[in-house]
Chain A
Amino acid sequence: MKKKIITSLFLLLGLSFSSMSMANEKKSSSEKELALSEMSLAIQALNNMSGHLRSLDRFSVHADIYVDEVLENGQKIQQTRSISASANPPSMLMVKASNINTSREFYYDGDNFTIYTPQPGFYATFKAPETIGKLIRKATDDFDIDIPLSDIFLWGSKNDNSSEILEATLIGVELVNGVSCNHFAFRQKDIDWQICIQRGELPLPLKLVITTKLEEAQPQYVALFKWDTSPILKNKQYYTFIPDENDHKIDFQTNKKNK
C-alpha cells in the first residue's frame, strides 16, 4: 500500500514536471514566432521605404551628420558635418558635403563624375556609368571615393544589402524633427543599424544610425534627414561641373586607376 502511494506520488511529480517543460517549450516557440513576425514586419517596412525612394523622380534632401572618429587611445570624438543632395534619378546627382574645415562637391550628369574641393580649387573627373547606383559602385571600387548618403540611392536597387539582415525589431514610434516615425533596429554581421521611417503616406527615412561592430570602440554614424520630394526641376547643366578660372584639374592617385 505504502509503495503504491509513493509510486503514484512520483508519477504525479513526473507528470507535472513534463507538463511544465512542455509549457516552456510552447512559450519559447511562440516567442520565436513573434520574433519572426516582427522581423518580417520590419523588413516589410524597410522594403516599403526602399520602394518609395526608388519611385521618386526627383528630390532634394538635407542631412545633418554626426560621425565618431576613434583616436588611437580608443577615445571617440564625434564630428559634425552637413550634406545637401539633389537628385534626378536615375542619372543626375549633385552632393555638397561640408564641415567647419573643408567642403566637397560631387557632380554627376549621367556622362561624367567630378569631385571638387572648392578650397583650394582642385577637381578630378572620370567617365561615369549610366545610373547613380552604378556610379556609387565604380567610385568606390576604382577610385576609393565614397559618395555621401549612398544608402538613399542603394536601398531598393540591385546593390541593396538588406538580405544580410540577421535580426530585426520594431522599437516604437518616435519624433524626429517634429515628424513621427517608426523606429526599427537591425543587426548584421559587422554592423547594427537603426532607422526611423516616416509614418503615413510618405515612408521616407528620417534618421539613420549605423554602429560599426568591427571596431572595439563601436563608433557610430548618425544621419538626420529633411526631405523635399517636389523641388523645382533642374536641368542637366545644374549637375554638370563647370570649373572657374582659379580651379585646377588634378589626377586620382595612380595606383587606384591601375587596380
Chain B
Amino acid sequence: MTLTLNKPLQFFVFLLSVFMLLALMPQQADARRGNKKGGTRTSVNHSSNKNRNVNVNSNKSSNTNVNVNRNKNTNRNVNVDVDVDRRGRRRGGVWTGVAVGVSTAIVVGTIVSTLPTGCTTIIQNGISYQQCGTVRYQPQYSGNNVTYIVVK
C-alpha cells in the first residue's frame, strides 16, 4: 500500500524537510566541533596531565541546551545538563517552559564556554559580569580558555 498525498501537501512536506535539515545543520556542525577529545601532547618536556572533555551544544534560536562535561585528573567531575526555553516565563520563581517535555532550570555554578546572544557587560565592585536576560555569568580563565560560570 502506498501513501498518496496531493501535490501541494507533497510540496509542503518537501519544503518542511529541507527547512528542518537546514535548521539542524549548523547545530550538528557545532556539536561536531564541540565533541573533541583533545589530549595531543604539545611539549616533550612536560605533560600537563589534562584530560578535559568539553561538550557544548547550543541552539541560539529558541532553546538553549548546555551540556558541560568536564573531567579532570583531580577527580572533579561536573556534569550539568541545562535546558532553557527562553520563551518560558518566570512564574513563582520557577522557570516554566511552554513546550511540553522541556525541563527548565538554570543552575548556579553551571559552566559554559559560549554565551547566548544579547548579553551586556556589567561591572559591580570591580568585577566584570555578563548579563544575559535574567541570568548573570562571570567570565573566568579555565586553563588557557575563557569560560562563563552562572552566578545568578
Residues of A within 8 A of B (CB): 67-72, 77, 104, 115, 117, 122, 124, 136-137, 140, 143-146, 148, 150-151, 154-155, 159-162, 188, 190-191, 193, 208, 210, 212, 214-215, 219-221, 248-255, 259
Q: Are B48 and A140 in contact (CB under 8 A)?
A: yes
Chain B residue at minimal CB-CB distance from A165: B44
Chain A residue at minimal CB-CB distance from B35: A72
Residues of B contacting A124 in the complex (Cβ-Cβ under 8 angstroms): 140-141
Q: Which of B35, B126, B141 contacts A253 (CB 8 A)?
A: B141
Q: Are B45 and A252 in contact (CB under 8 A)?
A: no
Contact string against A for B residues 75-92, beta-carbon threshold 8 Å, 1 for contact and 0 otherwise:
010000000000000000
Residues of A contacting B43 in the complex (Cβ-Cβ under 8 angstroms): 146, 150-151, 154, 210
Residues of A contacting B144 in the complex (Cβ-Cβ under 8 angstroms): 104, 115, 144-146
**Smallest Cβ distance from B131 to chain A, in angstroms?**
14
Instruction: Check B37 for interface membership: any CB of A closer than 8 A.
Output: yes
Rounded to whole angstroms, the CA-CA distance of A162 and B45 in the bound complex is: 7
Instruction: Check B146 for interface membership: any CB of A closer than 8 A.
Output: yes
Residues of A contacting B76 in the complex (Cβ-Cβ under 8 angstroms): 255
Chain B residue at minimal CB-CB distance from A146: B48
Rounded to whole angstroms, the CA-CA distance of A77 and B39 in the bound complex is: 13
Contact string against A for B residues 106-139, beta-carbon threshold 8 Å, 1 for contact and 0 otherwise:
0000000000000001010010100000000011
Q: In the complex, which range does the number of interface residues on chain B fall in?
A: 20 to 34
**Smallest Cβ distance from B132 to chain A, in angstroms?**
14
Q: Are B39 and A191 in contact (CB under 8 A)?
A: no
Instruction: Check B152 for interface membership: any CB of A closer than 8 A.
Output: no
Greatest chain A CB density within 10 A among B38, B40, B121, B126 is at B40
**Smallest Cβ distance from B122 to chain A, in angstroms?**
11
**Smallest Cβ distance from B74 to chain A, in angstroms?**
7
**Smallest Cβ distance from A138 to chain B, in angstroms?**
12
Known A-B contacts: A159-B46, A162-B45, A251-B138. Give 10 more (CB < 8 A).
A69-B36, A146-B43, A151-B45, A154-B45, A190-B41, A191-B41, A210-B40, A215-B39, A253-B142, A255-B76
Q: Which of A69, A150, A250 contacts B140 (CB 8 A)?
A: A250
Residues of B contacting A69 in the complex (Cβ-Cβ under 8 angstroms): 36-38, 40
Interface of A is mostly: mixed
Residues of B contacting A190 in the complex (Cβ-Cβ under 8 angstroms): 41, 47
Residues of A contacting B44 in the complex (Cβ-Cβ under 8 angstroms): 151, 155, 161, 188, 191, 193, 208, 210
A155-B45, A159-B46, A248-B123 known; A144 and B40 CB under 8 Å?
no
Q: Which of B37, B50, B140, B141 contacts A70 (CB 8 A)?
A: B37
**Smallest Cβ distance from B106 to chain A, in angstroms?**
19
Can you spell out 11 A-B residue pairs with CB atoms less than 8 angstroms apart? A69-B38, A70-B37, A144-B48, A144-B142, A161-B44, A191-B44, A212-B39, A215-B40, A221-B42, A249-B128, A251-B138
Instruction: Check B59 for interface membership: any CB of A closer than 8 A.
Output: no
Q: Are B39 and A145 in contact (CB under 8 A)?
A: no
Rounded to whole angstroms, the CA-CA distance of A147 and B16 in the bound complex is: 49
**Smallest Cβ distance from B67 to chain A, in angstroms?**
13
Residues of A contacting B48 in the complex (Cβ-Cβ under 8 angstroms): 140, 144, 146
Chain B residue at minimal CB-CB distance from A50: B45
Instruction: Check B101 for interface membership: any CB of A closer than 8 A.
Output: no
Q: Are B36 and A248 in contact (CB under 8 A)?
A: no
Chain A residue at minimal CB-CB distance from B126: A249
Q: Are A250 and B39 in contact (CB under 8 A)?
A: no
Q: Are B46 and A154 in contact (CB under 8 A)?
A: yes
Greatest chain A CB density within 10 A among B126, B144, B147 is at B144
